[in-house]
Amino acid sequence: MNIKITGSGSYIPTEIVSNIDFAQHVFLNDDGSLFPHPNDVVAQKFLEITGIKERRYVSDDLATSDIGTIAAKIAIEDSKIDPETLDYIIFAHNFGDVKKGTIQGDMLPSLAAKVKRNLGIKNPKCVAYDMLFGCPGWIESTIQAAAFIKAGIAKKCLIIGAETLSRVVDEHDRDSMIYSDGAGATILEATEEEGGILAHETASFTLNEANYLYFGNSYDKTDDPDVRYIKMHGRKIYEFALIEVPKAMASCLEKSGINISQIKKILIHQANEKMDEAIIQRFYRLYKQSVPEGIMPMSIHTLGNSSVATVPTLYDLLIKGNLKPHSLHKGDIVLLASVGAGMNVNSIVYKV
């Protein structure tokens, strides 16, 4: 028995927000003082570091569970399964449903439960729950679903990664330009077909690193002190990721028995172009090899960093030929990897 992705889907929001759209923002330092550089300089440096030209935001009427449902419906149709036969629905996110204009995350009931209702699934033995694991949440949910299948307690699982980070960013923080919204979903099944998940690796670093990403006050000191926004220690995350992510990828590859030369694509969490490039370079340096051309497809340039949605969205775009010139074909070996709040890192070696 093998464990494979038999269907995928994604939702790319309709609202396009370019770097120019941040021209009227008043960016501040964390002490509340005015940032010294004009916004055009901020935008140019931001583009050079992150590679992000534009990002996508959801329309005002949609929440995270809504776009997760859309991606899930596409994945179910793609897999040609009856949704009533699903054993698990696992929804990876971080902030729940944050409706436009509100300051609270709604996770009651869980987003997975909301999706199950939206899909009209009647089967009570289809268990729906959420995964809170930072940006690596969709990969971790896939690892968990695969364990259920391997243990014989599940045959088909729906795994969703979705986020609406545009609702939890501080407009006075330059880091707000990184974040975006989106959703990706996959169906994972037990199958006799060749390939699937060959190995996985996960680690959580919390002793000194747990608060590298956190909820904090606005940089505008006149803002409501009881409202919190996503904040990060960017330099610490960068340095951490460059050390720990390549190690996790290498450990996963060694478990799989696959030679590094067999890897066709590396799908890494779309966090920051320069950081992702540095991670890949360090990974290949562990094997004393140079990075193959075209090994790392990127969606961050136009979609931004949508947290848990980046990897499943990237997979869906690739498998359906919607990220030219990149593509995935049956038998290809792909390495998935992510890093995020916790701090958590994980990786999967997968044969299409």
pLDDT, tens digit, 9 for 90 and up, residues 246-293: 999 999 999 999 999 999 999 999 999 999 999 999 999 999 999 999
Q: How many CB atoms are located within 10 Å of the residue 164 CB?
A: 32
Average confidence score pLDDT of the chain: 94
pLDDT given for residue 267 in this prediction: 98
Residue where the block lists tokens 């010294």: 36
Residue where the block lists tokens 């004393």: 288
Whether the per-residue pLDDT at 177 is higher than 80: the answer is yes
Band of residue 33 on the pLDDT scale cut at 50, 70, 90: confident
pLDDT given for residue 29 in this prediction: 85
Among 29-38, 56-65, 86-95, 148-157, the minimum mean pLDDT is found in 29-38
| Residues above pLDDT 90, as percent of the chain | 83
Among 40-44, 215-219, 318-322, the minimum mean pLDDT is found in 40-44
Spacing of C-alpha 253 from chain mean position: 21
Band of residue 91 on the pLDDT scale cut at 50, 70, 90: very high
Q: How far apart are CA 72 and CA 332, in angstroms?
A: 24
Whether the per-residue pLDDT at 338 is higher than 90: the answer is yes
What single-letter amino acid sits at 35?
F
Q: How far apart are CA 193 and CA 191, in angstroms?
A: 5
Dihedral, CA atoms, 34, 36, 38, 39, nearest 10 degrees? -60
Band of residue 242 on the pLDDT scale cut at 50, 70, 90: very high
State the pTM of this model: 0.95
Among 47-51, 156-160, 276-280, 305-309, the minimum mean pLDDT is found in 47-51
Whether the per-residue pLDDT at 25 is higher than 90: the answer is no
- Count the residues in the chain: 352
Query: Region 167-194: what's the mean pLDDT?
Result: 94
Whether the per-residue pLDDT at 26 is higher than 90: the answer is no
Band of residue 102 on the pLDDT scale cut at 50, 70, 90: confident
pLDDT given for residue 42 in this prediction: 83
Band of residue 36 on the pLDDT scale cut at 50, 70, 90: confident
For residue 286, give the H/E element and its range.
Answer: helix 273-286
- Number of Cα atoms under 13 Å in the Cβ half of residue 340: 29
C-alpha distances out from residue 289 to 100, 274, 276, 283, 320, Å: 48, 19, 17, 9, 30
SS3 54: strand
Whether the per-residue pLDDT at 103 is higher than 80: the answer is no
pLDDT given for residue 153 in this prediction: 94
Band of residue 322 on the pLDDT scale cut at 50, 70, 90: very high
Give Cβ neighbours of residue 106 (< 8 Å, ≥ 6 apart): 63, 96, 97, 98, 99
Structural domains in the chain, CATH included, are 2-193 (3.40.47.10), 198-351 (3.40.47.10)
User: pLDDT tens digits for 42-67?
Assistant: 888 888 889 999 999 999 999 999 99
